[in-house]
Amino acid sequence: MTAHILGTGRFVPEKVLTNKDFERMVETSDEWIVTRTGIKERHVVAPGQTASDLALQASRQALDEAGLTPDDLSHIIVATCTPDTFTPACACHLERKLGISGKIAFDINAACSGFTFGLEQARAVLALHPHSKVLLVGVDILSSRTNYEDRTTCVLFGDGAGAAVLTGAPGEREVDGEVLDVILGTDGNYSELLHIKGGASGWPYKAGDTVGPENFIVMEGREVYKVAVRTMESACRAVLDGQGLTTDDVDMLITHQANQRIIEAVGKKLNIDNGRVFMNVHKYGNTSAASVPMALAEAREEGRVKKGDLVLVAAFGGGFTWGSALIRF
């Protein structure tokens, strides 16, 4: 029994931070940011706007395309490392905002690879209960965990949400993206290269403590870069090999949107020409768990992914975590 995507959606908050804005905040330049990352702007939330608010908008779009209502859902899986609250889970807040109850709603945290981990969770649910309807959302508000005094990280991140609705029994639906396979991996030995510590049980705050730099994302960018390229390439090869397919069969490569240079390097190593490599990092920056589902939804909206196309997905993030997936639309 396989999983089928019936609809996708995406949402970014209205407020935009441009590279020029960062020139006023830290010692950086539009030229440095564009040359090193490809990022031109990113969207960030307004005060009070939460992860489940963004997830709600992306979810509604995915449900509309699937021709389903929130009531039809059986499961809500949210991949995030910046939930509204530590508890309840972001998925429970989303359930409430969708106006439903009694579903099975839970979060997973695999940082920027979250959507691929969620796909595997959805496949597991649908293997047990093929008629279930699973809402899978990747959402992050990294602006809430970004140190806007640290130029090495603050220019990179943006906020957003991407969603997909899946079932094991698609019937004769118009949209049908069959998830052919998912391959995941983690290596906790790399945890120091990319982390957010403050406020978690390893770095608890007491009432009255001042929030310091430990509250924010820390990344050894250069090291992460190397492992990200190497790992996404091998994960892509593994998922293709498993299906007896090659990179020539791929119509669109959709990777985690962290850095234009990383995305192009993965495409080049896989011998997939730029015309088959999706890129939207220039508009949104690195949106963590939202980046892959947002890119998938946008690629489909733009007609870059059409019926019959084979999509190769690759993600990489803190943990380290990584995942690849093959989806036939």
Residues that bind ligand UT7 (CB under 6 A): 28, 32, 36-37, 112, 151-152, 155, 221-222, 224-225, 228, 258-259, 262, 286, 316-317
Q: Which residue's Cβ lies closest to ligand UT7?
A: 221
**Nearer Cβ to ligand UT7 (158/170):** 158
By CB atoms closer than 10 A (0-12, 13-18, 19+), residue 115 is buried
Rounded distance between C-alpha atoms, residue 51 and residue 141, angstroms: 6
**Nearer Cβ to ligand UT7 (166/232):** 232
Distance of CA 271 to the CA centre of its chain: 24
Rounded distance between C-alpha atoms, residue 159 and residue 50, angstroms: 10
- Closest approach of Cβ 90 to ligand UT7, in Å? 19
Q: Is 92 among the residues known to form the active site?
A: no
CB neighbour burial string for 286-317, b if at least 16 within 10 angstroms, e if fewer: bbbbbbbbbbbbbbbeeebbeeebbbbbbbbb
- Closest approach of Cβ 97 to ligand UT7, in Å? 27
**Nearer Cβ to ligand UT7 (83/317):** 317
Q: Is 195 among the residues known to form the active site?
A: no
Rounded distance between C-alpha atoms, residue 53 and residue 254, angstroms: 25
Identify whether 13 is preceded by a cis peptide bond (ω within 30 of 0).
no
Instruction: Tell me the torsion sign for CA atoms 223, 111, 188, 123.
Output: negative
Q: One of 81, 90, 112, 154 is an active-site residue; which one?
A: 112
**Nearer Cβ to ligand UT7 (193/245):** 193
CA distance to 29, 64, 90, per residue, from 87 (Å): 39, 29, 8
Query: Are residues 151 and 133 in contact, defined by beta-carbon separation less than 8 angstroms?
Result: no
- Closest approach of Cβ 259 to ligand UT7, in Å? 3
- Closest approach of Cβ 234 to ligand UT7, in Å? 15
**Nearer Cβ to ligand UT7 (232/325):** 232
Q: One of 215, 259, 280, 286 is an active-site residue; which one?
A: 286
Strand-pair partners of 108? 79
DSSP string, 146-171: --TT-HHHHTTB-EEEEEEEEES--T
Q: One of 236, 256, 259, 280 is an active-site residue; which one?
A: 256
Q: Is 236 among the residues known to form the active site?
A: no
Among all residues, which ones are annotated catalytic?
Answer: 112, 256, 286
